[in-house]
Amino acid sequence: MSKSPKKLHKSSRIRRNRKLFGAVLLVLVVGLFFVFIGRFSYIVSSGKLNNVNLSKKTETKYNRDRRLTAVRGKIYDSNHNIIAEDSNVYNLYAVIDKNHVSTDNKPLYVTNKRKTAKVLSRYIPLSEAKIYAVLNDQKSGAYQVEFGNAGKGLSLEVKKEIDAKNLPGIYFTKSVSRLYPNGNFASNIVGLAQTDNSDSASSGTLTGVMGIENYFNNILTGKNGYRQFKTDSFGYELPNSQTVVKKAVNGSDVTLTLDARLQSYMESVVSEVADTYAPTSMTAILMNAKNGKILAATQRPTFNPSTKVGLNNSWRNALVQDTYEPGSVMKLLSLSASIDSGNYMPNAYYQSGSVNVDGSIIKDWNTSGWGSIPFGQAFARSSNVGFVKMEQQMGAKTWKKYLTNFGIGKKTGINLPGESAGSIAYTRAVDRATTAFGQGVNVTAVQMMQAFSAVANNGKMVKPQIVSEISNSSTGKVQKEKTEVVGHPISKSTATQVRNEMKDVINQTYGTGQSYAIPGYEIGVKTGTAQIASGTGSGYLTGNNNYIFSVVGMAPIDNPKYILYITVRQPQKMTAPAETILSSAFNPILKRALEYSTGASVANVKTSEMPNLTGQSVESAKQTLEDGGLTYSLVGSGNKIVQQLPLAKEHVLSGQRAVLLTNGAMTMPNIKGWSKNDVLKLAEISGIKVKFKGDGYVVKQSVAENQLLNSTSKLTVKLASKN
């Protein structure tokens, strides 16, 4: 029986649809094939997929780069004692989550909190109770806890001691750090380097943020290298694979002109003066007059770079960044200008007391004056009226020329960041008159030292120098800094005559500087008492202590080797006259420098050179000191010396006490019987704050022996005379 036409038509339509579908499918498959071939050809030829370089992607997956970090250069003093160097420190943390266990279910968290707190309290400056409280912090469901500043910056030795106790759940992270073994030591000059985590490229590197560390940051930093190697898909290094290594180039070392022996002594003396009289600020600079090398310099307030105590109040380097009206020490320059310009008439007389300049009355510090006196006494008496008249005799144009030649109003170019240029008010006649005695002119301490050098150095003005040389042990390259003569503002005969008048300040009965005499040495000085602008735009502050008291001295005065300049601003405890405050710092510092220069023993008693104990074991250091006839006291529970006072190579008296900081937890020694100077060493090396009551030797201490100390600790000491 044949199929009906209707069924035949349906069957034909189905076959036709199948052929059409097959044709479409074939075209689609062929099209996709050609697309695939084209895509593959493009990838093969270009090496890219979706704008991603496949070769680089493969390299990224199987090649690894490991950064080889350059070691930051060291900073040395002039005798090659280390002032700053790289070090690793460790930060302590504890895992308290009980789910943190090993593959074999061994606890990797703190299991015995009482025992852990007790052990850790021996090594970090935190009490057992506080450590236990931290370990019991369950409020936030914390996985791990830290111990604040007490658990940060631990040395390798302390880490090893804690590791040896096998405390479950106690771990450390390592970070690079900068070590300042001398503590408070020209801190605002040396500066500070801190870890830079601002971006991934610089993460973990040290960056200088102030002082020499900042100014020479690029030179000190060096250049990081890398090691490139291949890994498998799991990230493990392939054995025998080719590696590419670019060695790191370590940073260069910077040697300063500072002498650690004089610097350490200056820090101790200035600390004592600052503690006694509480000035709002204080500066001291000792410079070699012949070559401009700064041998010691400090300021108050300052900070301890090891503990960071005081840093918040001492970011500025007062010696180069702060400007002020210098007062009567400026008369060294105005007297020089008057003599050198041929206008000085020492035997002519003038009426002292007061003078009228364009309607403004200028008075002597002794407001009633000394009657009619010769100009030859104006300098020693520090008569403002005499110097106003000298400025008028010179004329504004001549005096301005000498100010410019002395470098006033210009930066010295010393290798320290942020130096200020100062300024000169010179519009009105009264402005020009007051600059002759140090008002209406703003200077920096370093700028004044440069100007003083012309007087000390027979007219040859030298640039203050803080860096002695820059060297790189990798390349062997050494760059020595040379003495730079920056001008000859006055003649040799003028300089000699000015220094003779500086002698009169000390030696004449009418001189203002008799307190600064040092027996056995010829000294010349000039004192200063500068008013402080009120800040309201009109007038100056009033009150007995609202001045910047200062003194500059040169010695030996006939052929000066040293210039010492000290300023004390607004002493809050003005329990003594200004000259007593200043001389209590000036005299011992300059005397110590002169004794080093001549080789004389301090106070004509037996002295010896302090050995370098840093890095030695406690037992070895003890033996060394005992053999040298020195007493010692330890601060800390460690077995290695990390800081010492006095510093290495400093001359010390027989029987003098050395204070040694160890690598263990910082603990309080028994200080009964100590001198005030010994306690100041303890404060400097530990960073603690000390308050004194009475005078003499320690009879009572507020912090018990062996109690843990940290940078926030406060110690009150009662002193009394020995029976």
Q: Over 90: is that where the pLDDT of 430 sits?
A: yes
Cα 113 from Cα 129, distance rounded (Å): 11
Per-residue pLDDT tens over the stretch 504-516: 999 999 999 999 9
Q: Which residue has the tokens 């000035």?
A: 279
Per-residue pLDDT tens over the stretch 563-601: 999 999 999 999 999 999 999 999 999 999 999 887 654
Which pLDDT band holds residue 55 (cuts at 50, 70, 90)? low
CB neighbourhood size of 655 (10 A): 10
Mean pLDDT of the chain: 87
75-94 average pLDDT score: 91
What is 605-720's CATH number? 3.30.10.20
Q: How many CA atoms lie within 13 A of 44 on its CB side?
A: 6
CB neighbourhood size of 525 (10 A): 28
Q: Are 616 and 156 in contact (CB under 8 A)?
A: no
Q: Over 80: is that where the pLDDT of 51 sits?
A: no
**225 bridge partner residues:** 68
Q: Over 80: is that where the pLDDT of 233 sits?
A: no
Cα 565 from Cα 86, distance rounded (Å): 33
Handedness of CA 228, 230, 233, 236 (dihedral sign): negative
- Alpha-carbon Rg for the chain, nearest whole angstrom, is 36
93-103 average pLDDT score: 90
670-685 average pLDDT score: 84
DSSP string covering 36-53? HHHHHHHHHHH-EETTEE
**pTM score, two decimals?**
0.76
Check residues 198 and 535 and name the one with the higher pLDDT. Answer: 535
Per-residue pLDDT at 198: 57
Q: What does residue 718 show for φ and ψ, rounded to 5 degrees?
A: -100, 125
439-462 average pLDDT score: 97
Q: Over 80: is that where the pLDDT of 67 sits?
A: no
Per-residue pLDDT at 337: 98
345-373 average pLDDT score: 96
DSSP string covering 284-349? EEEEETTT-BEEEEEEES---TTT-TTGGG--S-HHHH--B--GGGGHHHHHHHHHHTT---TT-E
* CATH class, 87-178 region: alpha beta
Per-residue pLDDT at 125: 82
* 81-106 core/surface letters (b: 16 or more CB in 10 A; e: else): bbbbbbeebbbbbbbbeeeeeeeeee
Cα 457 from Cα 464, distance rounded (Å): 13
Q: Residues for the chain: how many in total?
A: 723
Annotated active-site residue in 328, 334, 515, 686 = 328
CB neighbourhood size of 351 (10 A): 14
Q: Over 70: is that where the pLDDT of 139 sits?
A: no
Active-site annotation holds for 453: no
344-368 average pLDDT score: 95
Q: Over 90: is that where the pLDDT of 437 sits?
A: yes
282-299 average pLDDT score: 98
Q: Which residue has the tokens 């009572």?
A: 700
Q: What does residue 234 show for φ and ψ, rounded to 5 degrees?
A: -95, 0
537-558 average pLDDT score: 91
Cα 294 from Cα 453, distance rounded (Å): 12
Share of the chain above pLDDT 70, in %: 88
Q: Over 50: is that where the pLDDT of 33 sits?
A: yes
Sequence-separated (6 or more) residues with CB below 8 Å from residue 148: 126
Q: Over 70: is that where the pLDDT of 43 sits?
A: no
Amino acid at 508: Q
Q: What does residue 250 show for φ and ψ, rounded to 5 degrees?
A: -65, 155
Per-residue pLDDT at 605: 44
Q: Are 318 and 187 in contact (CB under 8 A)?
A: no
Q: Over 50: is that where the pLDDT of 603 sits?
A: no
What is 260-600's CATH number? 3.40.710.10
Q: Over 60: is that where the pLDDT of 648 sits?
A: yes
36-48 average pLDDT score: 64
Per-residue pLDDT at 461: 98
Per-residue pLDDT at 64: 55
Structure tokens at 155: 């040395």
